[in-house]
Homo-oligomer: A and B are copies of this chain.
Amino acid sequence: MMRVLAGETLARPPIWIMRQAGRYLPEYRALRARAKTFLDFCYAPALACEASLQPLQRFKLDAAILFSDILTIPDALGRSVRFVDGEGPRLDPLIDAPDWRFDEPHRAVQRLAPVHEAVERVGAALADDVTLIGFAGGPWTVATYMLQGEGGEKDRARRAAYERAGDVDALLALLAETTALHLAAQARAGAHCLQIFESWAEGLSPALFERVILAPTRALLIRLRALGVTAPVIGFPRAATSEQIAAYADALDVAGLGLSTAAAAKALRGRIKRPIALQGNLDPQLLVVGGRALEDGAARVLEEFAGGPHIFNLGHGITPEARIDHVQRLVDLVHGDGL
């Protein structure tokens, strides 16, 4: 995977799977039961490490990704974060708060030391040929959760970006700084590469995309490099338009680009002005469905991404309904053991 991130085109792409340590694995569900809250789980280095390693014990994946969550950052910044079963995360919405107060970024990131310790543990346990991925949420995605208090429609976050432009820009700058420190700590702890999950890059006008995605992510990456981190970064502006994805690749110091299910890799390669590793983008539902549909879908992805550096992945996270035998089949297909 690191060769692909350096620009090499391989005959068979490496493969990892977004949310590969997750609820579709019975051993994950058993492990999860050992911590009370989801954040307790993320902050227990032994548990987070074991969760990160579980999928590698089943499948011949080329990368492990730290088990953690993008909302550890708001938690560390002093915002209350709860995970409600079946409903997703809940925060106290900033939109309703009379004034916005956050802890100082360095002190916040010190609170994430257990996450960095988990990275160290995973690194120590991994085979030499397996890449270790650290990650964080993109500033706008994390800000959206903080502003609205939840996911769902992003209307309120977008409205705040217009109505309280100064406050929102300051929040994005704070998140860029905090995220750079958090990613740098993960790199120092042994992460080989870093992914930025901008899960809510969709539905933004061209002007707003520049302001709330490109500008803070640029600041984040400049800061990350200033901190001495050389690890390649994969940006994942999920469900952005093709023009926005190309602008993201051209404007930012990223070695790889995650593509969501709808994206057309071949067309994007023609649009981006430099060689870049493209990661994606099988429909996660095909790991529920399996059979011929999975085989056809995987073959189409391999064909669509051929002719340039490719990291095989899904277009979105694996779902709890995915079947383990289908994941096994996919890994075999991609590695060429099963085509």
Contact = CB atoms under 8 A, between A and B. Distances in A.
Task: Give chain A's interface residue range (CB within 8 Å of chain B).
Answer: 35 or more
A243 interface: yes
Interface stretch (A14-22, A44-52, A255-263): A255-263
A33 interface: no
Interface in A166-193: none
A239 B203 contact: yes
Contacts of A199: none
A271 B143 CA distance: 34
A242 B243 CA distance: 8
Of A165, A204, A267, which is in contact with the most chain B CB atoms at under 10 Å from its CB?
A267
Instruction: Please give the count of copies of this chain that the complex contains.
Output: 2
A310 interface: no
A154 to B, nearest CB: 10
23 contacts: A159-B285, A159-B289, A162-B285, A162-B286, A202-B239, A202-B262, A203-B261, A203-B262, A203-B315, A204-B262, A205-B261, A205-B262, A205-B283, A205-B300, A206-B264, A207-B296, A207-B297, A209-B262, A240-B262, A241-B262, A242-B242, A243-B267, A244-B264
A285 B209 CA distance: 15
A285 B155 contact: yes
A54 interface: no
A296 B207 CA distance: 10
A329 interface: no
A9 interface: no
A35 interface: no
Contacts of A79: none
Given A203-B316, A209-B262, 14 more contacts: A158-B283, A162-B285, A162-B286, A162-B289, A202-B262, A203-B239, A203-B260, A204-B262, A207-B300, A241-B242, A241-B262, A241-B263, A242-B242, A244-B262
